[in-house]
Homo-oligomer: A and B are copies of this chain.
Amino acid sequence: MELEFIDWLRANVPTDPRARLGLSDDAAVVSLSGRSDVVVTTDMLTDGVDFRLEVDDPNQIGRQALAVNLSDLAAMAASPLAAVISVVLPRNRAGARLPLSLAIALYEGLLPLAREFDVSIAGGDTNTYDGPLVISVTALGQLTPRGPLTRSGGRPGDWLLVTGSLGGSILGHLFDFTPRVREALLLQERYELHAGIDLSDGLAIDCSRLAAASGCGAVIFTDRVPISADAIRLTEQEKATDREATALEHALSDGQDFELLIATSPGTAQEILRSQPLDCPVTHVGELVSQPGLWQQDQTGKRAPLKPIGWVHN
C-alpha cells in the first residue's frame, strides 16, 4: 500500500520551496523565512471517539484532522506553515474501503484546506493494521512580530470576547468549521491582546483553563453568550429525550466550536466590539476577575458558580 500511496502523494501534493525533501527523504527541511522560532502543535483523531468512519465522510475526517491543528495555531496567533500527517488505516474488512482508497479520501479532504491556509504538507507516515482508523497531524507555524498569544497573559478586569456563535457543533460544524487563523492574526496585528485560547472542549471549560493559566477567575455573562442556530436546533431535537439541554447549556458546554476566546483590556475590547473587524461577529461574553473559579452572571447581575462543563477527554 505504502509505495502506491507515495506515488499518489507525489502526483497530488504540491511541492513547496518552503518545505523541501519531505516526500523524498528521511525528513523535511522547513524554512521559517528568517525567523528562528517555530510553533508546533499536534492532535490525534481516532475512529469511535472523534468521528465514526461507518457514517462520516473520510474527506471530512481528513479535513478535520488538519483543521483542529490549525485552530491550535490560531489560538497562539501563529501563521500556519507546514504539517506532517500520520495515518494508520484499518486493513481490508468486508464492506469497508480499501486502505489506499481511504488514505486518498482523507488527503482529498485535507489538501484543499492546506491550500487555503498555505500549509505545506512536509511529510507523513501511512500504514495499515488490524484496528480503527487513527490520524495524527502535527502542524508547524510561525509567530508574528508580536510573539505568541498565550493562555496565561490575562489579568483581572480583562474583557472576554468570543468569535462566532457556540454550541451544537455535532450537527456539522465540527467537520466544516474554518479555523480562525485569519481572525487571530488580524486581531493580534491590530490590537494588544492579553490572552487567547481556541474553544475545542466547550466555552465553560476552556474559559476556566484560560482563567486558571492567567492566575485569575472568570465570569461568563450567560445572557450574552452567542448561541448558534445549531445549538437551538439540537435543543429542539433533544426535547423529551433523556439528553434534554437548553440551547444555552449547549453553547456553554458543547465541544468543537473552534472559535476564539480572547482576553484584552476593556478599552481594546470596546474598540474591537465597535469596529467588528472580522467577517464573523465578536461578542463580549464575560470578564476575568481576581476571585479564582468560574462564575456565571445573568441580566440581574447575580453571580453564581458555574461548573466548568465541557467535553472531557477520557
Binding site for B on A (CB under 8 A): 1-3, 21-22, 24-44, 46-49, 72-73, 75-76, 78, 82, 84-88, 122-125, 127-132, 134, 136, 138, 140-141, 143, 148, 150-152, 197-198, 213, 312-314
Q: What separation, in Å, do the CA atoms of A174 and B9 have in the docked complex?
A: 29
Given the known interface contacts A27-B76, A32-B32, the answer about A84 and B130 at a Cβ–Cβ threshold of 8 Å is no
Q: What separation, in Å, do the CA atoms of A286 and B33 have in the docked complex?
A: 39
On chain B, the residues within 8 Å of A47 by CB distance are 129, 131
Given the known interface contacts A28-B39, A38-B38, the answer about A48 and B129 at a Cβ–Cβ threshold of 8 Å is yes
Measured CB to CB, the nearest residue on chain B to A128 is: B314
Closest 4 CB pairs of A and B: A27-B41, A26-B75, A138-B138, A44-B86
Q: What separation, in Å, do the CA atoms of A143 and B126 have in the docked complex?
A: 26
Q: Are A131 and B39 in contact (CB under 8 A)?
A: no
Q: Which of B34, B46, B76, B141 is the one whose CB lies under 8 Å from A127?
A: B46
Additional A-B contacts beyond A27-B40, A31-B37 (4; CB < 8 A): A29-B143, A29-B148, A42-B85, A48-B130
Q: Which of B32, B73, B130, B314 is the one whose CB lies under 8 Å from A1?
A: B314
The 15 listed contacts between A and B (C-beta, < 8 Å) are A1-B314, A3-B312, A24-B213, A25-B151, A27-B73, A27-B75, A32-B32, A42-B84, A42-B85, A44-B87, A44-B88, A44-B125, A49-B128, A125-B136, A134-B136
Q: What separation, in Å, do the CA atoms of A28 and B72 have in the docked complex?
A: 10
CB distance from A2 to the nearest CB of B (A): 4
